[in-house]
Amino acid sequence: MNFKLIYISPNGTTEKTTQILKNVIEKDGHTVELINLGAGKNREDFGQILEIIDEADIVGFGAPAYHMDMLEPMKRFFQAMQTAGRVYQFGAFLYLNYGGITSGKAFSNTALLFASMDIPLIGAMKVMAPHFHHLDSFPTQTTEAFIQEFYEALQAKDFALILNDRLKALFSPRKKRVNLIYPLVHIIGKKRELPITIKPDICKNCGKCVKECPVAAISIKCVATIDLEKCIHCYHCSVICKLGAVEVPVEKLDKMIQLNKCIIGMENPPNEIYR
């Protein structure tokens, strides 16, 4: 079969999950093409990707959870799929990397959207991964084994679709607390996005951040400058700038994560297959 894995991964953990999936699927004798929504032309032009997925038997969509939802470029791609008004012939699965707090309504919102486009869902998984300033430890052997287990679970069911009337219950947030406080935490989280600044005295105009910002929000005006209207606060620029010119208040971010852990708690189990 022909698989396409479409993903976005500002800080690299979803990309690693994607690579593991690719290896496992290829080992099983299928072909896999990877499409990074945050790279090059894909950042602005989804037209060609819509053509490519037409050839697929199965498409996997991978994104990190940000503010209890899928990261924005993936949501924008779903909107493009919807607006294109095509008839999609493939089966789809979803995978989310998240910090272990909650994937919120990312799965349920997407499942409903796919149902409205008549795209059959064959499964989903969430994988716990570290935040961008603690990336070294990912993936553990347990995580790799879990990702393989996810593929095997889909394959064992012959990639059969999940019936629409099961979607709501299957993908509803695991913790009641998420359902209760979702709108509040979602809004506060968005409001408390921490500012990213580029230090003009350190920036050497190398252009790496300009080329790699997943939403093309950085341009060079004497030095690299961020368009805060476009910025999605994914912190990719701070991870890739080896000069340390991109400043992020990591301590404040850590405090916010700790607060979220207190309010919402951590998911148990941290990795989960939805089938």
Ligand X SMILES: Cc1cc2nc3c(=O)[nH]c(=O)nc-3n(C[C@H](O)[C@H](O)[C@H](O)COP(=O)(O)O)c2cc1C
Q: Rounded to the nearest whole angstrom, what is the least distance from the CB of residue 142 to ligand X in the complex? A: 16
| Shortest distance (Å) from residue 27 CB to ligand X | 23
CB atoms within 10 A of CB 72: 17
> Which C-beta is closer to ligand X: that of 185 or that of 245?
185
Residue 243 makes CB contacts below 8 A (sequence gap 6+) with 202, 203, 204, 206
Calculate the alpha carbon distances from 199 to 211, 223, 225, 227, 230 in Å: 18, 9, 9, 15, 19
Q: What is the 3-state secondary structure (H, E, C) of 155-203?
A: HHCCCCCCCHHHHHHHHCCCCHHHHHHHHHHHHHHHHCCCCCEECCCCC
- Smaller CB separation from ligand X, 98 or 114: 98
Q: How far is CA 17 from CA 23, 108, 170, 234, in A?
A: 10, 21, 22, 18
- Supply the minimum distance, in Å, between the C-beta of residue 129 and ligand X: 3
DSSP helix/strand/coil, 65: strand
Cβ-based nearer residue to ligand X, 62 or 123? 62
In the bound complex, what is the minimum distance in angstroms from residue 175's beta carbon to ligand X? 11
CA 33/CA 162 separation, integer angstroms: 24
CA pair distance 239, 7, nearest whole angstrom = 18
The distance of closest approach from Cβ of residue 53 to ligand X in the complex, given in angstroms and rounded to an integer, is 21
Which CB sits closer to ligand X, 95 or 151? 95
- CB nearer to ligand X: pick between 30 and 174: 174
Binding site residues, ligand X, CB under 6 A: 9-14, 64-68, 97-102, 104, 129, 131-132, 233, 235
Spatial CB neighbours of 156, under 8 Å, sequence gap ≥ 6 = none
Q: 4 or 67, CB closer to ligand X?
A: 67
At 270, list the tokens: 């941290």
CB of 39 to ligand X, least distance (A): 13
